[in-house]
Chains A and B, each alone.
Chain A
Amino acid sequence: MTTVEAAPYTVEEVCERFDPVMGLEVHVELNTATKMFCGCRNEFGAEPNTNICPVCLGLPGALPRVNARAVESAVTIGLALNCSVRERSGFARKNYFYPDMPKNFQISQYEDPIVFDGYLDVPLDDGSTWRVEIERAHMEEDTGKSLHMGGATGRIHGADYSLLDYNRAGVPLIEIVTRPIVGAGTRAPEVARAYVSALRDVVKGLGVSDVRMDQGSMRCDANVSLMPKGSSTFGTRTETKNVNSLRSVERAVRYEMGRQAGVLLSGGTVRQETRHFDEQSGTTSPGRAKETLADYRYFPEPDLVPIEPSAEWVEGLRKELPERPWERRARIQSDWGLSDEELRDLVNADALDLVAATVDAGASSESARSWWVSYLAQQANTQGVALTELAITPEQVARVIALVSEGTLTNKLARQVVDGVLAGEGSPDDVVAGRGLAVVSDDSALTAAVDEALAAQPAVAEKIRAGKTKAAGAIVGAVMKATRGQADAARVNELVLERVGASS
């Protein structure tokens, strides 16, 4: 039975009486080639149960081995979040029975997570910054995926049986846990969304995860509680699980604040439980009462020895940290002289990285920007693909721009070259050669074409000779037509004036 409880209070009303406290747990799936503890491939969307082995299936006698790259990614994430790296860190078994975990325990970290005590300065909508403190980030493994069969909805309730795919079981996960976020008041929902958004940008910038919330490679659990205004004793919290979009993070926090205020103000008590967020209605509904930590019976993983990252190695990783995405955006904005709106257009079009790479390949920021946000954006739109999925690289775009600026191509020809690259005809130079698109820069060929056009239009030639140099346009047009647009119009104009003996 599902009952949708109303959330009777708005965030403003809630905050007249209460202060909200939030804790956010974000799981990030790493994009390593293999799983956390075995050499099975870590890939999204593979045929079910094709990436499984004795280790991730928990077969007797199988022994886990730690993926070095996953440890590196975990430390990199920690450093990007201003965390300390633990000198000696170990794995632990978290015991529970559930069909999506074939071993009947999850290898995680408990008392000694690999990184701890950090923070992230989160940009808010009004340009201010909110510091979210990070308690810890630890390594663990993902679970399998279940498909609930029978029943009407494909949901667990009412299903007749379930089908399990263990391809995801054992995929490296980093769980990033904040300290309680206190004092955000009515902005709590916004802070929650902004934090997850900033975290996503940072991790994406590190290149260690796809951080696709829609594909589950980034997932958020939101803990929310209320305490009476002025109190410093936290209230009972609920944990809303698997909130899977930025918008949902904000909505789930807002809904829980309103719901809990309703419970408390009507004299009730908030039950400590997990809750499920419903994307459709924007509400949460109760799940099971939360097990206590002791019920997981954590103990040190006997099959894995501790990790002791050397200081030199950690410092090496720290040196390689990229700029924070929003700092990079600010730098790019000032380097390229963009208005806020122009920058926002680039970011919204998902073109910033493409334009930056095109500039890195030698193009000016103006021409790179112009190509990506106009002609290429149109082509992507026509093809129904994302800009990043167009079959042209920033290097190729930079090459086209260079061909234009050195006079080999006109803008019109350049678009045809781009069409050719998109159609799979090879590099820009291949297309120029293949389609014979270069500007006719051979003056003798152009001169012949000019003479022919002048002879064909003697009246126009006479006008030009009489000083009406603007009349040359008709001749230029005829020459452009004759050369199928492959002439440089400015040069043709010069030649026309030369041939009739007029000076410009």
Chain B
Amino acid sequence: MSDITRSDVAHLARLARLAVTDDELDVFSGQLDAILDTVGRVSEIDDDVPPTSHVAPLTNVLRADEPEPSLDREAVLAGAPAAEEGRFRVPRILGEEP
């Protein structure tokens, strides 16, 4: 039985940079609770079953270390909201690097 609180939802929303209203905190905490309960049934499986992160039975898909063409800088920067001196311009960064 999971127990997602309003403050858990608010925390997750902040990490995901989502704006969530007060009403939505209630709605989402109930919904997430139900989802986690359902997914939680997976843990009823025996411990000796390895977790599956990929369904395709592939390993070692590797690329040779050989340069390939990059994109044209002006074309890329043209898609950015702002650019300066060949760089992407972003608003003032408030926090420090995580």
Chain A, range 34-72, C-beta contacts under 8 Å to B: 34, 38-41, 47-54, 57, 65-71
A300 at the interface (CB under 8 A from B): yes
B21 at the interface (CB under 8 A from A): no
Encoded as 1 (CB less than 8 Å from any A CB) or 0, chain B from 66 to 98 comes to 111111010011000000111111111101111
Residues from chain B with a CB closer than 8 A to the CB of A51 are 70
Chain A, range 99-153, C-beta contacts under 8 Å to B: 99-100, 143, 146-149
**Stretch touching chain B among A4-12, A178-186, A302-310, A364-372:** A302-310
Most A CB within 10 A of own CB, among B17, B58, B92: B92
B43 at the interface (CB under 8 A from A): no
Residues from chain B with a CB closer than 8 A to the CB of A96 are 15, 98
Q: CA separation between A96 and B16, bound complex, in Å?
A: 8
Q: Contact between B95 and A288 (Cβ–Cβ < 8 Å)?
A: yes
Residues from chain B with a CB closer than 8 A to the CB of A66 are 61-63
A166 at the interface (CB under 8 A from B): yes
Summarize B's interface: helix, strand, loop or mixed.
loop
Q: CA separation between A241 and B96, bound complex, in Å?
A: 11
Q: Contact between A69 and B54 (Cβ–Cβ < 8 Å)?
A: no
Q: CA separation between A146 and B85, bound complex, in Å?
A: 12
A160 at the interface (CB under 8 A from B): yes
Residues from chain A with a CB closer than 8 A to the CB of B56 are 305
> Residue A49 contacts which of B65, B66, B86 (CB distance < 8 angstroms)?
B86
Q: Contact between A147 and B70 (Cβ–Cβ < 8 Å)?
A: no
Q: Contact between A40 and B70 (Cβ–Cβ < 8 Å)?
A: yes
A445 at the interface (CB under 8 A from B): no
Q: Contact between A164 and B87 (Cβ–Cβ < 8 Å)?
A: yes
Q: Assuming A162-B89, A163-B88, what are 19 further A-B pairs, CB within 8 angstroms?
A: A40-B67, A47-B73, A49-B76, A49-B86, A50-B73, A52-B73, A53-B68, A53-B71, A88-B59, A90-B53, A159-B93, A162-B93, A165-B86, A166-B88, A302-B53, A305-B58, A305-B60, A305-B61, A306-B53
Which residues of A come within 8 Å of B, CB atoms? 32-34, 38-41, 47-54, 57, 65-71, 88, 90, 95-100, 143, 146-149, 156, 159-166, 241, 274, 287-288, 291, 295-297, 300, 302, 304-308
A-B contact pairs, 10 of them (CB 8 A): A47-B73, A97-B17, A149-B84, A162-B93, A163-B85, A164-B87, A164-B88, A164-B89, A297-B15, A305-B54
